[in-house]
C-alpha cells in the first residue's frame, strides 16, 4: 500500500467538512490541512496497523506530531490537536483495507 493511496483514502474518509475542521484546529486553510494529511501519512511508522487503537495512538501521536510540525512549520501544539482528529480516521481506513484484503 502506497502512502499516496492511503492519503487519498484518508482524505476521502475525512470529507470536506472534517478537512475544514482540521484546518480550524491548525489555524490554516483546507489546502494546508490536506498537506498535513499527506505529511502525517508519510510520517506514520509502518507498523501503525498493529495493536489496539489506544495503544497505537499513544505510541505514534507525539513522534508523528513532531515530524509533521517540523516538515510543515506549523506549531507542535496545533498539530498535536489536529492529529487527535486525524489519526483515528487514518486507522479506520487501514482497518477497512485490512478487512477487504484476502489473507
Q: Give the torsion sign (CA, 50, 84, 61, 10).
A: positive
For residue 49, pLDDT beyond 70: no
- pTM for the whole structure: 0.74
Give the DSSP H or E segment for 63: helix 53-72
Phi, psi of 23 (to 5 degrees): -60, -40
Per-residue pLDDT tens digits for 69-86: 999 999 999 999 999 889
Q: State mean pLDDT over 20-46.
A: 91
Express the helix, strand and coil content of the chain in percent, nearest 5 each. 80, 0, 20
- Give the mean pLDDT of the chain: 86
Amino acid at each position: 500500500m502506497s502512502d499516496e493511496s492511503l492519503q487519498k483514502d484518508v482524505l476521502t474518509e475525512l470529507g470536506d467538512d472534517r478537512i475544514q475542521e482540521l484546518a480550524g484546529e491548525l489555524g490554516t486553510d483546507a489546502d494546508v490541512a490536506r498537506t498535513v494529511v499527506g505529511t502525517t501519512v508519510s510520517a506514520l511508522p509502518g507498523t501503525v496497523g498493529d495493536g489496539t487503537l489506544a495503544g497505537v495512538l499513544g505510541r505514534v501521536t507525539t513522534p508523528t506530531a513532531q515530524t509533521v510540525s517540523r516538515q510543515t512549520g506549523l506549531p507542535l501544539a496545533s498539530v498535536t490537536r489536529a492529529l487527535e482528529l486525524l489519526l483515528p480516521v487514518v486507522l479506520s481506513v487501514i482497518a477497512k483495507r485490512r478487512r477487504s484484503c484476502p489473507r
